[in-house]
Structure 1
């Protein structure tokens, strides 16, 4: 058995899977697949976790999921020597041995290649690019160097770059490389460029990942029927893909917001800000372009010392048809307390709903109609949130939704908020129940808020307070709604994700709050364990 960790175990797939027994690890894996399309870190870490077991029965759930993980890894990393070797030995991938022989034969400088593969694309991207490019100049048929450059382009949200000019793909691997290029372009959301490769790739589309990306490529080009057909083929290959099942249902019967609701419901919209005058101005301008009917808007300046006061002074001008109010505090009291200050106003309790917006977001103009439609359709929903992305030509997913992934005597964790390195191509444009949504743009039902009114100030200055609050709703029997038909562009990620701007001090705050979170919910861990995503399937 894998060694059990304590409550101070590091977050992340590897440490969380390692702290679970076999059946617990299987449940964790299935919970992830219930939320997201599988990704390489999930597959590799689950496979490594299962390798620690002495014997896994052939017909067991663990063996079936182990095979699923290995096949997923082989499809997502088609040139990785270690994965190819395992896939060849298992018999799950008939062409793996042939591909491995070509990859091995072209591995001209393995020591340099291995060092580059271990580098951090986030922190050493420029150095990796220079070295891998130099390898391709020297060895034009170097498969692993080309694959690394293409992976770096994808990580940085770029179309295939110089690699397409330098790489002379071995003849035996040309179909696989073309498929790799297609998945790169379609995975970014560049439908026009991907479509040029599709006639060549379509006969090779025998895996769910290529089919899913191709489905959204067709959808972007206006072929909804073609998208449904490809998604149906994908589900036939892998029935564990709940996101695909939900997306297929959405394409068959698209969600339609009731645009009359903003004018029928009493809504308060609250913002708070600390020294972000420039982006605050952009956020307020974005809000002014939204259909919020006669919603009341309050802005709290959290001890600002920059030009935020002059920006806030334009609030009434930007929203001439709404009741607006600016609240200035002499010091920064942190996010949870700022939320509580705004909630405590009497306008909250006279409203049907209260929405919170961060000060660094770009808003979809009809977001309120979408949120209200989701909330009004199910009185159990206490909070509604949306899809959150990073800015850019191709928008990397930043936050979708979360639930409880582990709640044991040793470890309490919420699931990851987003799959690894997936861009916003449309797969998560669905409405579904969940347990937690991101606090940068969400809307709470006031009747539920009366039961859980306050955000916990122990998490000051920020981080985890919104997660904590949604779980409070869950423990009271409420649900949270994810409205993926709304996209929020969050300009400055404040967490510790791939593209956030977190420094070491902020990471320390997050780590400290994780510990507070564990001890706060320890006595409720049994009830908390029931708030996974699988329990919401019915």
Structure 2
């Protein structure tokens, strides 16, 4: 189980000097974006490996080792890790042997059953049938499991997922099987059970994953001191890792209960069209959260189903005078609906307005915590939070949104001078706590965001040219950023979202064309000078935030190490 200074022994890996992170933030500011987004991490590692510098080499080696520990079946990372290991051997022997085993199994995997087509079907029964068949192919079991392991962990029935994984036990080396079983436990089982499985892992191969996952499990159990110790254990091996730095800082902050909202402090606004029963579920859940004296305003955006009946049914769930509902005869789109709600006198009288999607399910104290974050950042243009899937294992949908420099983005609109390339760091990533931090950013998810009245007065509401939806919230956050009111992301608050974003869910040419059309509008709304100011100012704020938190985490870590040393010395004297 966890000790005072960390969860378990960690692999002996090269560690860059304490000066590396401040130096790389000056030389390569986009380092501050994230250390977890797969494509960016690989790109940064390739840059580091080409520098011929010991610190850069150690930083790349550590990131690649962690990426393998987190996602052992990621082919691109595995290839670069093996290439680095050949040129500059650094992995402990058992870890190196495990990478070779996985690479060989994936390289020689049979292609007679294309799992990608099964995954794309979305048929959980078909996934389960594939895994049953795959487990019987003893000579290729690992190669067949590799592309399907993520889907196995996300089957609706956690018991079935565990039984299917057990079918591979005799065909996969025990240390690797233990790692896979630990991940399934972290994602689907109680944290106490997951901690036991993490503690049993081979530290040379999986110690980094175990420490990070254990920190997340310990925090879920309310054991924040131990969660910080486990996080710092991983951070000491990976001081170059931005997310670990931000997470360690967040865990080091005292967690106090913020006051419940006072009357007039906040209005919670929602709108919906033709999703009557989903809206009922959402509003029923919302009524059970700690809203205090907040007003709730719900807009029926031209529904033709029984949404009006639902709004009448749920009204008694809220305190008298605290639930307001309005109905429009036609659908006026998302930005229009938001503006309509903002213009209601009762909403306009509130000092903050929180917008929620009609399929969002926030934590009990979500509003009080977002309001506290707003008080801590009085110049914020918007305050947002982590958005996760409603269904287990509650994978991430979004965190904070920031900008790549224009030359590093991938052009998708050749007919326009595209300059706004948003870094989405975590879509589909499992929740291991690595996005549970707070910092300024360019934008936050429109699924749940709080708008202070000062920000609304400064830059206004939402541009209806983005009807019916898409990029209207980003456009507003950009206007706020240019008015020196950057958004603030508080990833310690999580809101479960039943559906994905419309951008991620676009399935036909008409939907894609609408999204691309709105992106063109957004590009043409922002001048070249403002686009330059946006990405430079955004990266500068991220860099300075990370630099300051890195210094504080170093100080905290030194204090903990000194305390542990004193305890050891005292024990020896005793």
Cα contact 2:165–2:181 (8 A) shared by 1? no
Deviation at 1:526, TM superposition (A): 1.3
Q: For 1:390-429, what aligned pairs fall within 5 Å after superposition?
A: 390-407=389-406, 410-416=418-424, 418-429=425-436
Partner residue of 2:534? 528
Deviation at 1:511, TM superposition (A): 2.5
1:254/1:495 Cα in 2 relative to 1: closer, same or farther (>3 Å)? Answer: farther
Cα contact 1:155–1:421 (8 A) shared by 2? no
Cα contact 2:397–2:428 (8 A) shared by 1? no
Give the TM-score of the pair, scaled to structure 1. Answer: 0.82
Cα contact 1:271–1:357 (8 A) shared by 2? yes
Cα contact 2:201–2:207 (8 A) shared by 1? no
In structure 2, list runs of 5 or more residues that go unmatched.
1-23, 408-416, 549-574
Partner residue of 1:231? 231
* Equivalent-residue separation in structure 2 for 1:28 and 1:203 (angstroms): 31
* Equivalent-residue separation in structure 1 for 2:518 and 2:54 (angstroms): 38
Structure with greater proportional helix content: 2
1:117/1:450 Cα in 2 relative to 1: closer, same or farther (>3 Å)? Answer: same
In structure 1, list runs of 5 or more residues that go unmatched.
1-21
Partner residue of 2:13? none
Partner residue of 1:268? 267
Deviation at 1:452, TM superposition (A): 1.1
1:314/1:94 Cα in 2 relative to 1: closer, same or farther (>3 Å)? Answer: same
Partner residue of 1:6? none
- Aligned to 1:182, what secondary structure does the other structure show? helix
Give the TM-score of the pair, scaled to structure 2. Answer: 0.77
Partner residue of 1:57? 51
Partner residue of 2:367? 368
Q: For 1:351-500, what aligned pairs fall within 5 Å after superposition?
A: 351-407=350-406, 410-416=418-424, 418-497=425-504, 500=505
Deviation at 1:61, TM superposition (A): 8.3
Deviation at 1:443, TM superposition (A): 1.5
Deviation at 1:475, TM superposition (A): 0.9
- Aligned to 1:471, what secondary structure does the other structure show? helix
- Aligned to 2:426, what secondary structure does the other structure show? coil
Partner residue of 1:248? 248
Partner residue of 1:89? 86
Q: Which string of whole-angstrom CA distances, capped at 9 and with x for unpartnered residues, describes residues 247-266 of structure 1?
A: 33333333324224x12643
Deviation at 1:220, TM superposition (A): 3.3
Structure 2 residue 168 is the aligned partner of structure 1 residue 166 = yes
* Equivalent-residue separation in structure 2 for 1:219 and 1:426 (angstroms): 9
1:433/1:188 Cα in 2 relative to 1: closer, same or farther (>3 Å)? Answer: farther
Deviation at 1:356, TM superposition (A): 1.4
1:97/1:485 Cα in 2 relative to 1: closer, same or farther (>3 Å)? Answer: closer
Partner residue of 1:192? 192
Cα contact 2:382–2:451 (8 A) shared by 1? yes
Q: Which string of whole-angstrom CA distances, capped at 9 and with x for unpartnered residues, describes residues 149-201 of structure 1?
A: 3233135575444232234245xx43233233323422556423323323421
Deviation at 1:430, TM superposition (A): 3.7
* Equivalent-residue separation in structure 1 for 2:204 and 2:58 (angstroms): 25
Deviation at 1:520, TM superposition (A): 1.7
* Equivalent-residue separation in structure 1 for 2:103 and 2:531 (angstroms): 49
Q: Which string of whole-angstrom CA distances, capped at 9 and with x for unpartnered residues, describes residues 503-530 of structure 1?
A: 5533332222222222222431111112
Q: Single out whichever of 189-198 and 225-234 deviates more from structure 2.
A: 189-198
Cα contact 1:189–1:423 (8 A) shared by 2? no
Cα contact 1:390–1:396 (8 A) shared by 2? yes
* Equivalent-residue separation in structure 2 for 1:384 and 1:138 (angstroms): 51
Partner residue of 1:217? 217
Partner residue of 1:516? 521
Cα contact 2:419–2:531 (8 A) shared by 1? no
* Equivalent-residue separation in structure 1 for 2:25 and 2:117 (angstroms): 33
Cα contact 2:188–2:392 (8 A) shared by 1? no
Q: Which string of whole-angstrom CA distances, capped at 9 and with x for unpartnered residues, describes residues 220-270 of structure 1?
A: 34543332222111111111333323333333333324224x126432222
* Equivalent-residue separation in structure 2 for 1:306 and 1:139 (angstroms): 53
1:89/1:74 Cα in 2 relative to 1: closer, same or farther (>3 Å)? Answer: farther
- Aligned to 1:481, what secondary structure does the other structure show? strand
Q: CA RMSD in A?
A: 3.4
* Equivalent-residue separation in structure 2 for 1:82 and 1:200 (angstroms): 27
Partner residue of 1:10? none
* Equivalent-residue separation in structure 1 for 2:131 and 2:162 (angstroms): 14
Deviation at 1:112, TM superposition (A): 1.4
* Equivalent-residue separation in structure 2 for 1:139 and 1:213 (angstroms): 30
Partner residue of 1:293? 292
* Equivalent-residue separation in structure 2 for 1:65 and 1:495 (angstroms): 37
* Equivalent-residue separation in structure 2 for 1:201 and 1:384 (angstroms): 39
Cα contact 1:188–1:424 (8 A) shared by 2? no
Partner residue of 1:338? 337
Cα contact 1:71–1:92 (8 A) shared by 2? no
- Aligned to 2:111, what secondary structure does the other structure show? helix
Cα contact 2:383–2:488 (8 A) shared by 1? yes
